[in-house]
Structure 1
Amino acid sequence: MRSIPWRYLPAIACVLPSTASPAAADLPAVVVTATRTPQEADDVPASIDAVAFDDVVDVFGVNPSDYLAGIPGLLARDRQNYAQDEQISIRGFGARATFGVRGVRLYTDGIPATMPDGQGQVSHFSLDSAARIEVLRGPFSALYGNSSGGVIQLFGADGSVPPEISLALVGGSYGNARASVNARGVAGDLDYNLDLTHFQTDGWRDHSAAKRESGNAKLAWTIGEGGKLTLLANTLALPGADDPLGLTHAQFDADPRGVASVATQFDTRKSVHQDQGGAIWDQDLGGGHALRVLGYYGTRAVEQYLAIPVATQANPKHSGGVVDLDSRYGGSDARLTWKGELAGRAFELAAGLSWDRQAQHRRGYANFVGDVLGVRGALRRDEDDTVRDFDQYAQATWRFADRWSLVAGLRHSDVAFHARDHYVTTGNPDDSGRVDYGATTPVAGLLWRAARGVNVYASYGRGFETPTFNELGYRADGAAGLAFDLDPARSRNAEVGIKLRPSTSLDASVALFRADTRDELAVATSAGGRTTYQNIGKARRDGAEAALAWRVGDAWTLQLAWTRLDATFRSAFLTCAGTPCTTPDTPVGAGARIPGVPRSMVHAGLRWGGDRGWHAGTAADAVGAVVVNDLGTDRAPGYVVAAADLGYAFELDAGRLDAFARVDNLFDRRYAGSVIVNDANGRYFEPAPGRTVMLGMKWTWNR
């Protein structure tokens, strides 16, 4: 069976996606920092892309997926469920995450959005105040430690000169609305970027309404000789986002806008409140040497109501259907960069220490009182969970010949989990315990400047991924305590590629990659609202990526991205077949596909217009079919969807007004925008909206 419905490809030929602005005839050289020292992306022996937010126009601007569509190897899916965050995977890593982001490291202005156990979220990303987002794929991701199948970093914009204040309003189908105000500028030694954003939606599906308020501040002072202090603050409020849950295949076919009855019976929902702050000190030491010290602290409170049947909670070991989680997290990173020469050739070394800690007070309650469902009932769980990591890392870049560069790095990580159980009864024994993990992950890359505008590279590295606290929470054998028998997954990653920039108007790249993993984490049992995990022997993710950006004249920009990915289990194992399932007793053969990973993705784009006056774009994405469980007994079909937008930029005496209209899912296709891998109730499918329309404007005062 073909992984993409190729009969739809004529639509791609005439309706192509875009993320780049055609304001000029040249494509600027992209400078990236994901390898911890600023370099042009073409000079890095790794797959790395950067998206400038000023280049992305006419989008809703609420989710990172609005900006990431043109990056090969990356799949960012808007789940239409703000109780569960976006679903993001890179080269197949992270595809099994049922909520949040798993297997991919996330950062915002250097502050981790991924906790030490490897679980992260993007709901607090301040997109309105951002300058760019960088995506690192392949072996060099291991330089960021635990759970780094890939790395996504968001960077806030610096203050503008002259200062500006902007107001953005966007509204669309199904009650979607966003309002934001942003102020950027420079006042003496102070550089500032302040932002407030409100978002709300009635939801395309039933029981999927949500509101989100967020604020972000970035303040930077130049102090003394070569010193700079940056203060960061971020706040997020997500009160009572409805959770529509997934649908079975039959429910999806019958009514994709519907919900499972248990969602309304238990009023499934989630509330999140998060506040964090950070400080960064950058000191130029002269001679190209520099010191950077970062510290951060935050709190995150989550209350979530699940659809756990009352009868299931009769088991005295069950933790209930209401999750009440209070977290405190913080950490620091100190890095010294030294520049000089080695054997008469340019040499750069960066070395540092990183420490992070998260402390959670986790409580569980029954989700009923008497005959009333979806309310907080009796206490069923009370424990303190802590996880911390302490890492040491170093990396060096040596241009040992005129046309050759070597980049090498090493990171050692220690990750420790500790649980202290305060809810101990006659039928519920003490679940306290701890487990420690450690790994040393080397990486190296070689780059050859074969000709002007032609760079060839190869890289290799090792990575590891610990279980998260959610995956350690329950033992597959039903005994008390953490799942101490789980081992971290360890991977070997290799990549070869070529980067082409024959002119300032054309940029292209091709990469071939392979990642072999042992002790891959997979589902063991799933029943009663609990999922347990097991290690299986081997898994493999290999494939190819290609990307093209081409500016034709002053008015047209073409962008293409293609991914081919084969993600398979290489060892046979036993899994659950029933719904629910308490014993893994059904074999999965070697060679079976890893669920949630499409074999093919195509993104193409065409845009017309300039920085002033009229501009227009068309968009289409083709995503292959995905299996939704380890047995491969069900799958979400592949799809092609298209979009189109039209806008006008008014230059006025008092500032600038940008207005646009956009239509998504232009041909009103029915498809599953995301899937819930190995859902215990067979509710795998999260439908995407039909045709949607939005109107937006942004007024900027900069006079």
Structure 2
Amino acid sequence: MSWFLVLPIALATAPGGTFTDSTVVPLEGISITGSRVPESVLRTPAALSVVTKNTLRSTRGISLLDGLARVPGVFSQSRGGGQDVRITIRGYGARGNGERSNAGNMRGIRVLTDGIPLTEPDGRTSLEFIDLGSADRIEVLRSNGSVVYGNASGGVVQLRTAFDFERPWIEYQERAGSFGYHREQGAAGIAMGSGRGTVSVFNSNFDGWRAHSRSTTTSIQSRFSAPLDDRTRLGVLADFVSNLNFFPGALTQAQLEADPEQANPTFVTRNERRFNRAGRLGFSLERGLEGNTSVSATLFAEPKSLQRSERNRFRDFNRYHIGGNLAVQHRTTFSSELYGTWTAGADDQFQDGAIQFYNLAPGGNRSTTVFQNKREGSNSAGGFVQAELTWSEQWAVRVAARYDNLWYLSEDRVTPRLNATKRFTQVTPKGSVARMFERHTIYASVGGGVEAPAFNEIDPPPPYDTLTSFNPFLEPMSSTSYEFGAKGEFAAQDSRFGRLSYDAALYWIDVRNEVVPFNGGAFFFTAGKSRRRGAELGLGWSPVDKLSFNGALTFSQNEYVEYQNELGDFDGNDVAGLPEALVNVEARYQLPAGLSVSGNLKHVGHYFADDANTAFVEGYVLYGALLEYAHAMPIGVMRAFVSGDNLTDEEHVSSVFINGISGQYFEPGLPQNWSAGLSLSIR
């Protein structure tokens, strides 16, 4: 295996030399909660990136990929250019592909919006509720998050809404682009006494570049936060989304070379698609108590109706997802230079509902013949404790541990003998030490991780599918992560080279019971052991006023250490779906009259689409450009942008079906494409 060593410097600019593309924001004044403890980005002993609204407002905004494309350690893949994406962090989430409900879902990565989880109890995350147009920032914890979030070995992605405005405001955004893309969004900020709220409504449509890849989403999201007294704050969240996606499927190498725009013929015949409708209602409460103690709690409920044509069946799901968490934090001062912070918390999530599978009628519609009728339920419960000692404002030691209990239930109403339950339990420890300077932090950590197989990954292979509903051989994937990192900034007044910010991390992850798909995800195997080693670097540099550079580099080595089964001996092979090199660089210059111009480069190294390492995926380089305009008016601000991606019209594979069926691995990426946006904000 070769290691690609590329030194990227990514570029970005803003008026006055500030950064608009904030993939690296190691600033003391920016507070995050991705580690379950409110703390600054700079002081968190973990790999953490923050993407700001300034970055999000000049993208297509069609999917989470537009927000995470320039975060080191994150592999963001578009699956046809629409709303369906695959997100991988340090190799976690790579198996979220294939035909088994993996389109439109993430694995092993915890996703939240304003503290309320989108991730289901079994670790799957559907992304319909993602609204980049109303998000103020995205916090990305790339380090192992299992010790405080449980089933989240791949880290945490949290979208945050801003409530720090003084006056009410309204905003309208319009976006349009190649292949029939258009997105309309209206938003408003509401001030009611000391309370602040936001309402956002958007409609997004994309005809698609490939055949059978149309998608549309309509969403309403509202937030409200208000103090109940001088120590208590209440938050309310209410969302609704309706989403329809048609899936073109994967192609063989011959199909890819002949016509990359075509859809997989089987997907067209079955009219494979998803129609999801879901709502969410959530509450959060924060209260400060006597003696440097605070308590926080959340409760949420999420009913959903999901219909899909998939794998030669029409599938009808009616589910409800409920849950909550409670956390207590206490700070103790031992002396003028020594203090401790103690945190304890508990989480519980439960999802249940009825599922009916029907034979397909012509056109991929539901027939009247019921193939399967069952109930599926899952519950994830866990608790954690965390303690940190800090002395002299220079050193900090943190230890934590968590216990998780995950339970699955399947009741088959057609074949009761298949009824089954399955339980996974895990204890996860973690420890870290950090040395803090005025503008820099160095840290090292070691900790465990856990990722249980998702509910739709535990179907048994033949002949066990006639005996039980659950694969008797699958176990939770567990890992041990070793990490060393440094982050900080050199202010312009301290350096003749201008302002420089950096975020660097080295990691080594040993994984046991790696879960891998077979036969297009028809069922899953457990690999014995795998190893992931990597380096991540994020840089931001503004050498002079109006010019700045910003970017991200990731290079990694991901291999199976022990992995044999009846299909072969894969010891020493690359883990499928993971490239060795990821580079994203951008340069931006601020022009007069509110204009700015930028260019960017994205490189994805080669990788394999199967465990046998026979399905080779070529690496590629894509170039893009962006022109932005901002104009301040007495009533507010008008902004506009025009952007182009894949300017050289490079043919490439943007995603794959891992271990696909009959050589059907490849999902072609978008050719040259353009987008434009206009927004008016009145404040």
Distance in 2 between residues matched to 1:623 and 1:110, nearest whole Å: 32
Distance in 2 between residues matched to 1:42 and 1:117, nearest whole Å: 32
Asked if the contact 1:365–1:378 (Cα under 8 Å) also holds between the matched residues in 2, the reply is yes
Shift of 1:24: 4.1
Matched, 1:341 2:328: no
Q: 1:563 aligns with which of 535, 549, 554?
A: 554
- 1:71-150 matches, within 5 Å, as 71-80=71-80, 85-98=84-97, 99=102, 100-150=105-155
Change (3 A) 1:453 1:265: same
Shift of 1:402: 4.2
Matched, 1:255 2:242: no
Matched, 1:693 2:674: yes
Shift of 1:190: 2.1
Shift of 1:77: 1.3
Matched, 1:472 2:458: yes
Change (3 A) 1:17 1:365: farther
Q: Paired residue for 1:245?
A: 249
Distance in 2 between residues matched to 1:193 and 1:638, nearest whole Å: 42
Deviates more, 1:16-25 or 1:345-354: 16-25
Amino acid at match of 2:324: S
Q: Paired residue for 1:37?
A: 37
Deviates more, 1:493-502 or 1:684-693: 493-502
Distance in 1 between residues matched to 2:640 and 2:228, nearest whole Å: 40
Distance in 2 between residues matched to 1:82 and 1:500, nearest whole Å: 35
Asked if the contact 1:82–1:242 (Cα under 8 Å) also holds between the matched residues in 2, the reply is no
Change (3 A) 1:556 1:81: closer
Change (3 A) 1:509 1:671: same
Distance in 2 between residues matched to 1:335 and 1:2, nearest whole Å: 45
Asked if the contact 1:3–1:624 (Cα under 8 Å) also holds between the matched residues in 2, the reply is no
Shift of 1:405: 0.6
Asked if the contact 1:95–1:597 (Cα under 8 Å) also holds between the matched residues in 2, the reply is yes
Matched, 1:486 2:470: no
Asked if the contact 2:115–2:158 (Cα under 8 Å) also holds between the matched residues in 1, the reply is yes
Q: Name the SS of the counterpart of 1:94 in structure 2.
A: coil
Amino acid at match of 2:507: F
Shift of 1:160: 2.1
Distance in 2 between residues matched to 1:551 and 1:163, nearest whole Å: 34
Distance in 2 between residues matched to 1:472 and 1:107, nearest whole Å: 25
Amino acid at match of 1:40: S
Q: Paired residue for 1:520?
A: 514
Amino acid at match of 1:494: Y
Asked if the contact 1:554–1:610 (Cα under 8 Å) also holds between the matched residues in 2, the reply is no
Which structure 2 residue ranges, 5 or more long, are not aligned? 20-24, 493-498
Distance in 2 between residues matched to 1:399 and 1:610, nearest whole Å: 46
Shift of 1:130: 1.0
Asked if the contact 2:146–2:152 (Cα under 8 Å) also holds between the matched residues in 1, the reply is no
Q: Name the SS of the counterpart of 1:595 in structure 2.
A: coil
Q: Paired residue for 1:646?
A: 627
What whole-Å deviation, never above 9, does each CA across 1:247-284 have from its counterpart, x for those lacking one? 11111111111112222222121101010110001112
Q: Paired residue for 1:544?
A: 535
Amino acid at match of 1:89: T
Amino acid at match of 1:276: R
Asked if the contact 2:81–2:209 (Cα under 8 Å) also holds between the matched residues in 1, the reply is no
Q: 2:350 aligns with which of 351, 357, 360?
A: 357
Q: Name the SS of the counterpart of 2:254 in structure 1.
A: helix
Matched, 1:618 2:599: yes
Asked if the contact 1:268–1:374 (Cα under 8 Å) also holds between the matched residues in 2, the reply is no
Q: 1:448 aligns with which of 426, 431, 435?
A: 435
Asked if the contact 2:452–2:476 (Cα under 8 Å) also holds between the matched residues in 1, the reply is yes
Asked if the contact 1:306–1:367 (Cα under 8 Å) also holds between the matched residues in 2, the reply is no
Q: Paired residue for 1:582?
A: none
Shift of 1:19: 6.3
Q: Name the SS of the counterpart of 2:208 in structure 1.
A: coil
Matched, 1:288 2:281: no
Q: Name the SS of the counterpart of 1:337 in structure 2.
A: strand
Shift of 1:586: 2.6
Amino acid at match of 1:638: G
Asked if the contact 1:274–1:298 (Cα under 8 Å) also holds between the matched residues in 2, the reply is yes
Amino acid at match of 2:395: W
Amino acid at match of 1:193: T
Q: Paired residue for 2:654?
A: 673
Matched, 1:433 2:437: no
Distance in 1 between residues matched to 2:66 and 2:300, nearest whole Å: 28
Q: Paired residue for 2:179?
A: 174
Shift of 1:439: 0.7
Matched, 1:332 2:313: no
Asked if the contact 1:506–1:549 (Cα under 8 Å) also holds between the matched residues in 2, the reply is yes
Change (3 A) 1:421 1:19: farther
Shift of 1:138: 2.2
Q: Paired residue for 1:381?
A: 372
Amino acid at match of 2:190: G
Shift of 1:148: 2.6
Distance in 2 between residues matched to 1:259 and 1:56, nearest whole Å: 31
Q: Name the SS of the counterpart of 1:263 in structure 2.
A: helix
Change (3 A) 1:469 1:612: farther
Matched, 1:213 2:218: yes
Instruction: Tell me how many residue pairs correspond in the alignment.
Output: 661
Amino acid at match of 2:531: R
Distance in 2 between residues matched to 1:113 and 1:23, nearest whole Å: 37
Q: Name the SS of the counterpart of 1:473 in structure 2.
A: coil
Shift of 1:691: 0.7
Q: 1:417 aligns with which of 377, 395, 408?
A: 408
Asked if the contact 1:22–1:551 (Cα under 8 Å) also holds between the matched residues in 2, the reply is no
Matched, 1:511 2:505: yes
Change (3 A) 1:373 1:605: closer
Asked if the contact 2:49–2:140 (Cα under 8 Å) also holds between the matched residues in 1, the reply is yes
Q: Paired residue for 1:366?
A: 359
Shift of 1:3: 7.8
Matched, 1:323 2:315: yes
Distance in 2 between residues matched to 1:632 and 1:277, nearest whole Å: 45
Asked if the contact 1:117–1:415 (Cα under 8 Å) also holds between the matched residues in 2, the reply is yes
Shift of 1:489: 1.1
Shift of 1:485: 2.7
Q: Paired residue for 2:389?
A: 398
Amino acid at match of 2:422: V
What whole-Å deviation, never above 9, does each CA across 1:175-200 have from its counterpart, x for those lacking one? 00010001013221321111001000
Amino acid at match of 1:625: H
Q: Paired residue for 1:311?
A: none
- 1:47-86 matches, within 5 Å, as 47-80=47-80, 85-86=84-85
Shift of 1:94: 0.7
Shift of 1:490: 1.0
Matched, 1:502 2:506: no
Amino acid at match of 2:618: P
Change (3 A) 1:147 1:655: closer
When normalised by structure 2's length, the TM-score is 0.92
Q: Percent identity?
A: 25
Shift of 1:161: 2.0
Amino acid at match of 2:359: A
Distance in 2 between residues matched to 1:350 and 1:611, nearest whole Å: 50
Q: Name the SS of the counterpart of 2:676 in structure 1.
A: strand
Change (3 A) 1:700 1:383: same
What whole-Å deviation, never above 9, does each CA across 1:191-247 have from its counterpart, x for those lacking one? 1111001000110111111110011100112112311111001111013x2111111
Shift of 1:478: 3.6
